[in-house]
């Protein structure tokens, strides 16, 4: 059984194929965390509770309760009663006093996994998942807190969320409600996070865990490109192949916090949830608040194993789209090719040229609606601009479908320009503080989609267009952060709920979209990758990874993203050169080889490409389709990360049965007087012979066509010294069927 509750011993044991997670109730009624790590049978709660370290302990701890609380390894800690470490829950009563103490009441197990109302969350049937509910109570506040744990055995994943219920007669205010917390003993940890900014999202960075708090967070209203909603504690010496990893990822698309706190007593508290700054929630008698889901995993075999846990889990238990399994069309997007300067003739010419090269879908980006000839006008006016598109979008879509292509469209439902008919009609629909001039970004304000009438009006307008053109694809963009937080619809006491209600509004709108258009290929985007998180993946099978389309810049961006998210979720395009963001000129082969590690497409004006470049496109599309299943479903291994000392980048994808593998090698910078690089591969069957085929670029002529897995993983193989920005792709397949 994945979940064992021993009521006699007051212990709880969660088990996956390779991990154990253990809790116990102390003699004083507090729920303590005992262990999360490699699968074991039993631990001694007394050694973890450490009551023997409290001076002059007494049976009721009246004299030294605060000292006990300060060192106790809480499973879900609260504030205000003596534990001065970071709390998971803070609650204020009607008198303005903040204190909470949770005591154990009950635990129960059910097969399957309940949904979280209004929130994206993982799913599974009764055979794949069991769910534990641990009921805690503060008898003074009459507050019931239910900790939810769902155990996914095969993927070595445990998910957590919390239901908070006011069973009293007085109103309460939640000021902090994390979704997960646990106290560990320090083992010389490092903290790993994903950091960056617009156009350089999710670069991995690891630092020593020092005393005090190390915080990864966002207060921008989105999960953000600056700090992603992921945190991992790494054991001493952890690498891709070996060492311990304890990781959390947040199924949420708004403000978040992840905290690793090392205390003076050498305990480590790891927690994740909605960011408490600026957040409050009025919990009236009888009301309930549900926190978003945290996904946790433990690996004893390094970062690669952690990656495989996350990838398998998101593919099997979070992404709902039919396109998770189905072939996705290779698209061309006109944005970097035309920006706002287009008409129906220009778009058709791009589509016709793309169709001739084998591209399968045309996506019309920003500029098709209202008075939208630049980014200062018309956003929010979701009516077709027939001065640009004479005859309307349907006529253009029909002409493009006549070429044998699918048709997609860009929208940005959450935003409005002050210079728009929508804003002039409903200025109170924008988020703003009365009397204060709101800050603009890209000449945009944010619509208050915490309000149902705003959500419904916007979605009615957009869905009317999408139904009219029978859109095959939608790219949903969101191009600014939330600031000047004020809602004309919320009372003074509820203004602290705005950011969370906003995110709930986004989820409701996207749920409506995928329900009304179930066959749609849906891609999320937020200034590139500002909302690349599991919450978005619940609605769309892919997310635009970054607005930076340069192949070399994409190496770090895609490395950090693939550390947690499946390759199938990363929108990755071949763009024009010189690159729009950095001005770099990369060979078209390298641009395609890097984009091959994601959901493949093009972002350019194909009518301006040379004949030689156009000849490469059909080959690249054939390569994408040939290896799509392997890339989308295989296990990802990070082999080498480029740096000044090691200026090449290598990754590989291995099929689940280890009969196929794809290795990509990118030479970021060439170096004089250096020979071939010996690279050790990973993930292969040591006893299997593999035939090797170079599908892009040139390998060394001395490379044998048949090599065994043990040879390739232990001795390695030579990759040629290439020039700046050159690359190659190598395909390995088992010697014979059935091997």
Q: Which residues belong to the active site?
A: 477, 547
Distance CA 666, CA 661 (A): 17
Crossing angle (nearest 10°) for helices 588-595 and 551-562:
10
**Cβ–Cβ under 8 Å, residues 525 and 335:** no
CA dihedral 675→715→662→652, nearest 10 degrees, is -90
Distance CA 30, CA 45 (A): 12
Burial 58-86, CB ≥16 within 10 A → b, else e: eeebeebbebbbbbbbbbbbbbbeebebb
Burial 248-275, CB ≥16 within 10 A → b, else e: bbbbbbbbbbbbbbbbeeebbbbbbbbb
Structure token digits, residue 345 = 């003739």
Query: Which distant-in-sequence residues (6+ apart) come within 8 Å of 400 by Cβ?
Result: 347, 348, 351, 362, 407
**Cβ–Cβ under 8 Å, residues 210 and 514:** no
SS3 content of the chain, % helix, strand, coil (to 5): 25, 30, 45
Read off the DSSP letter of residue 79.
S
Please classify residue 222 by burial: count the beta carbons closer than 10 Å to its beta carbon, then call 0-12 exposed, 13-18 middle and 19+ buried.
Answer: buried
Query: Which distant-in-sequence residues (6+ apart) come within 8 Å of 424 by Cβ?
Result: none
Residues in the chain: 739
Nearest to 402 by CA among 364, 348, 350, 358: 348
Q: Parallel, antiparallel, or unpaired for β 331-333 and 293-299?
A: unpaired
Distance CA 77, CA 193 (A): 23
Widest distance between CA atoms in the chain: 85
Q: Which residues are 730's β-sheet partners?
A: 663, 694
Structure token digits, residue 387 = 């001065």
Structure token digits, residue 738 = 């059935």
Q: Is 527 in a helix, a strand, or coil?
A: coil
CA angle 180–186–189, rounded 5-degree value: 85
**Alpha-carbon separation of residue 237 from 263, 297, 462, 733 (angstroms):** 22, 19, 52, 33
Query: Which distant-in-sequence residues (6+ apart) come within 8 Å of 150 by Cβ?
Result: 113, 122, 124, 129, 130, 131, 132, 158, 159, 160
């Amino acid at each position: 059984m994945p979940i064992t509750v021993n009521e006699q011993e007051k212990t709880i044991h969660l088990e996956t194929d390779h991990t154990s997670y253990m809790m116990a109730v102390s003699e004083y009624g507090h729920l303590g965390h005992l262990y999360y790590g490699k699968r074991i049978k039993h631990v001694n709660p007394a050694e973890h509770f450490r009551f023997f370290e409290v001076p002059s302990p007494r049976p009721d701890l009246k004299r030294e309760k605060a000292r006990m609380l300060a060192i106790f390894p809480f499973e879900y800690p609260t504030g205000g009663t003596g534990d001065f470490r970071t709390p998971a829950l803070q609650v204020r009563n009607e008198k303005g006093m903040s204190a909470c103490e949770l005591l154990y009441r009950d635990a129960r197990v059910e097969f399957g996994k309940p949904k979280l109302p209004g929130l994206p969350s993982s799913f599974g049937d009764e055979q794949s998942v069991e769910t534990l509910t641990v009921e805690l109570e503060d008898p003074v506040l009459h507050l019931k807190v239910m900790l939810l744990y769902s155990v996914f055995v095969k993927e070595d994943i445990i998910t957590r969320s919390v239901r908070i219920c006011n069973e009293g007669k007085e109103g309460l205010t939640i000021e902090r409600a994390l979704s997960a917390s646990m106290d560990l003993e320090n083992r010389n940890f490092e903290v790993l996070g994903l950091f960056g900014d617009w156009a350089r999202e999710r670069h991995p960075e690891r630092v020593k865990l020092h005393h005090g708090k190390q915080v990864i967070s966002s207060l921008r209203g989105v999960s953000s490109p600056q700090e992603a909603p992921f945190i991992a504690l790494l054991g001493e010496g952890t690498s891709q192949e070996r060492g311990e990893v304890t990781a959390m990822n947040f199924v949420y698309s708004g403000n978040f916090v992840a905290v690793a706190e090392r205390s003076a007593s050498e305990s480590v508290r790891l927690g994740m949830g909605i960011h408490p700054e600026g957040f409050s929630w009025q919990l009236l008698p009888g009301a309930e608040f549900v926190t978003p889901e945290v996904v946790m995993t433990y690996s004893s075999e390094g970062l690669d194993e952690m990656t495989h846990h996350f990838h398998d889990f998101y593919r099997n238990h979070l992404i709902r789209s039919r396109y998770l399994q189905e072939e996705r069309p290779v698209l061309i997007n006109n944005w970097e090719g035309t920006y706002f300067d287009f008409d129906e003739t220009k778009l058709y010419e791009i589509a016709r040229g793309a169709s001739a090269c084998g591209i399968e879908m045309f996506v019309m980006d920003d500029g098709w609606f209202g008075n939208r000839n630049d980014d200062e006008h018309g956003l929010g006016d979701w009516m077709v601009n027939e001065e640009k598109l004479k005859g309307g979008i349907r006529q253009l879509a029909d002409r493009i479908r006549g070429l044998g292509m699918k048709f997609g469209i860009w929208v940005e439902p959450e935003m409005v320009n002050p210079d728009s008919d929508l804003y002039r009609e409903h200025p109170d629909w924008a988020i703003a503080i009365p009397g204060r001039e709101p800050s603009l970004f890209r000449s945009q304000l944010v619509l208050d989609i915490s309000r149902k009438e705003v959500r419904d009006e916007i979605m009615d307008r957009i869905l009317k267009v999408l139904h009219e053109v029978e859109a095959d694809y939608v790219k949903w963009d969101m191009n600014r952060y939330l600031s000047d937080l004020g809602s004309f619809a919320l009372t003074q006491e509820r203004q602290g709920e705005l950011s969370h209600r906003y995110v709930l509004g986004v989820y409701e709108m996207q749920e409506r979209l995928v329900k009304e258009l179930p066959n749609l290929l849906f891609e999320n985007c937020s200034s590139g990758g500002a909302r690349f998180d599991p919450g978005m993946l619940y609605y769309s099978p892919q997310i635009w990874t970054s607005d930076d389309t340069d192949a070399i810049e994409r190496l770090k961006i895609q490395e950090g993203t693939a550390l947690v998210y499946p390759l199938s979720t990363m929108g990755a395009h071949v763009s024009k050169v010189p690159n729009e963001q950095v001005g770099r000129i990369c060979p078209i082969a390298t641009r395609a080889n890097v984009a091959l590690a994601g959901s493949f497409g093009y972002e350019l004006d194909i009518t301006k490409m040379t004949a030689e470049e156009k000849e490469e496109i059909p080959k690249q599309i054939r390569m994408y389709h040939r290896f799509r299943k392997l890339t989308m479903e295989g296990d990802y291994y990070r082999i080498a990360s480029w740096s000044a000392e090691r200026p090449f980048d290598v990754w590989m994808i291995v099929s689940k049965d280890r009969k196929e593998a794809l290795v990509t090698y990118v030479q970021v910078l060439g170096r004089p007087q250096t020979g071939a690089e010996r690279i050790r591969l990973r993930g292969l069957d040591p006893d299997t012979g593999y035939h090797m085929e170079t599908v892009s670029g040139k390998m060394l002529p001395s490379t044998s066509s048949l090599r065994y897995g043990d040879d390739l993983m232990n001795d390695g193989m030579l990759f040629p010294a290439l020039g700046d920005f050159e690359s190659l792709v190598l395909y390995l397949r088992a010697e014979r069927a059935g091997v």
